[in-house]
Structures are given as C-alpha cells and as structure tokens.
Amino acid sequence: HAGGGWGYEGRAGGFLRRRAEADMDLEKYCREFMRRDRLGAHLGIEMGVEHGAIAATMTVAKHHLNGAGSVHGGAIFTLADIAFAAACNSAGQLALAVNTQLTFMKPAAEGTRLVARVRELARSRRLGHYTVEVSTAEGDRVAVFQGTAYVKTEAISPYFAG
C-alpha cells in the first residue's frame, strides 16, 4: 500500500510502519482520535498501541450490560467500530464505513476487560477491508467484526483541528 499510515498485521504478517501525516506518531494519533470520539469517551473506551498496532479497550461496567446481564451487543460493536475507524483513517485520508458485520462468539460479564485488535486485510486507493477481533484480556474471543471503508480524497487533518 503506497502512501502514509500505519500498518496492521496483514497477509504477510508482522507489523509495518508507514508514515502518518507529517510527524504524527501512532500514540499521538490514538490520543487525538479518542479526543474527537465523544461516544467512545462516554463509554469508557481507551485506545493505544499494542505490539505496534492500534488496540481499543473497554472494561465492561453496569451501563454496558443488556437485560440478560452480559455485555450489550451495541457496546461490543462500538468498541470494534472505533478500532476499525482509527485503523481506516490512520493513513491520513478520511475513510468512512460502507459495510460492517459483527459475529458474537461468547458473552462477557461485568468487570471483563475487552480488547479490540485490528487487522488490515487489503487496502486500495478507494477501499479498505479490515477484521477486528474482540477478545477478553485473557485472549478468549468474544466477537469478530468485519468492515469495509470507502477512502475519500480529502485529508483527515481538518477533522483533527480544534
């Protein structure tokens, strides 16, 4: 993939660092991305770098629970979607979801720390395809998210201003 951005574990394996806009490093990008994501902040989602790639985390609290007492599917989707959005936009171009799917594997209870890890499957000039695995901190898979993003020609930087 030509151009800027940060790589994710892909088909060839390993992590590849590409240049983000100007001198923005991945940690700074994650902080700025979450500063702008109001829903993520409201839900207690945090983002950082884990093994050279973006990882979003959330500890399941009472307000994340559904009527059955396990984490609400919408909370899991939001965690995965935020990680997906951060990955799609890290190349410096505005990218917006055009299709997503989430498959639930097992429930998670209150107090469980969930981690969403992104894998870029393919990216062209206009489309990016990603998988996000949501697991417990112990590594038990809770859900798998698949998403496709449309990559626009405009830069992401104006959205990070102010």
87-144 pLDDT tens trace: 998 888 899 999 999 999 999 999 999 999 999 999 999 999 999 999 999 999 999 9
pTM of the model: 0.83
**b/e code 36-63 from CB counts within 10 Å (16+ = b):** ebeebeebebebeeeeebbbbbbebeee
Residue in the block written with tokens 């109001």: 38
CA distance 48 to 149: 21
